[in-house]
């Protein structure tokens, strides 16, 4: 599974909305976390507790979707990539970030990916934090069973969508090892996300790594 480009999971939810006007994990010992704020177009900021050594870069979401796209990666190497897209309810949909809508979207996307996965069935898990409610699944690429992965290609994917206050946040965690502490750290980061309505005080979006 390549981490280039943006997954369509949350983008599809926002595209559908635009045409009309997504149990918390156990605590992970990853060292100190840095509180980072990211602007969400028209909807304040999403605040994340990010492992201190993770680098991030931001850019506009693909396809003209009114959302913020964020990539997290290690200081060096290709052990993992985490892609997050956060956006608000520009179309005023009543069920914009309802649990039923989020779960249906996650199940649809997971069912599509299941065709090329090692797993015979899709297992959807619950993500829950103080203000976060969401769902996710984990799949293994069939190609990884017989062929070694290359740079930028990851055999395992955890992907889902969560409501964070008034926001929808999608997340895609690309990783290599079956037991990856970075995966648990990323899930904890999303479970602990907060929505703040005032503008972000950090650097403006532009795609430059921090």
Residue 34 falls within a domain, yes or no?
Answer: yes
Sign of CA dihedral 89, 199, 56, 47: negative
Residue 204 is assigned to a structural domain of this protein: no
Strands (E), the chain: 33-39, 45-51, 55-60, 67-73, 80-87, 125-128, 132-140, 156-164, 167-175, 194-196
Structural domain count of the chain: 1
- pLDDT tens for residues 121-175? 999 999 999 999 999 999 999 887 666 666 667 889 999 999 999 999 999 999 9
Could you tell me the CATH number of the domain that includes residue 108?
3.40.1000.10
Over residues 68-121, the pLDDT tens digits come to 999 999 999 888 999 999 999 888 888 898 999 999 999 999 999 999 999 999
Structural contact between residues 82 and 97, judged by C-beta atoms closer than 8 angstroms: no
Structural domain boundaries enclosing 86:
8-173+182-196
CA 39 to chain centre: 15
Please tell me the pTM assigned to this model. Answer: 0.81
- Spatial distance between the Cα atoms of 135 and 13, rounded to a whole number of angstroms: 14
Has residue 78 been placed in a domain?
A: yes
Asked if residue 60 belongs to a domain, the reply is yes
Residue 119 lies in a domain: yes
């Amino acid at each position: 599974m390549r981490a280039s480009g943006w997954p369509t999971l949350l983008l599809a939810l926002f595209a559908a909305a635009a045409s009309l006007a997504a149990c918390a994990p156990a605590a992970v010992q990853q060292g100190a976390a840095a509180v980072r704020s990211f602007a969400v177009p028209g909807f304040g900021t999403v605040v994340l507790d990010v492992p201190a050594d993770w680098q991030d870069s931001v850019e506009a979401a693909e396809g003209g979707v009114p959302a913020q796209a964020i990539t997290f990666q290690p200081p060096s190497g290709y052990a993992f990539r985490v892609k997050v897209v956060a956006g608000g309810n520009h179309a005023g949909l009543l069920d914009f970030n309802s649990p039923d809508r989020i779960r249906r979207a996650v199940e649809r996307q997971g069912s599509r990916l299941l065709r090329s996965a090692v797993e015979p069935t899709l297992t959807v898990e619950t993500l829950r934090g103080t203000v976060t409610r969401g769902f996710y699944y984990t799949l293994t690429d069939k190609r990884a069973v017989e062929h070694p992965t290359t740079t930028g290609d990851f055999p395992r994917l955890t992907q889902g969508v969560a409501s964070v206050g008034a926001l929808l946040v999608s997340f895609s965690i690309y990783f290599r090892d079956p037991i990856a502490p970075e995966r648990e750290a990323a899930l904890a980061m999303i479970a602990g996300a907060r929505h703040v309505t005032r503008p972000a005080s950090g650097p403006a979006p532009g795609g430059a790594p921090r």
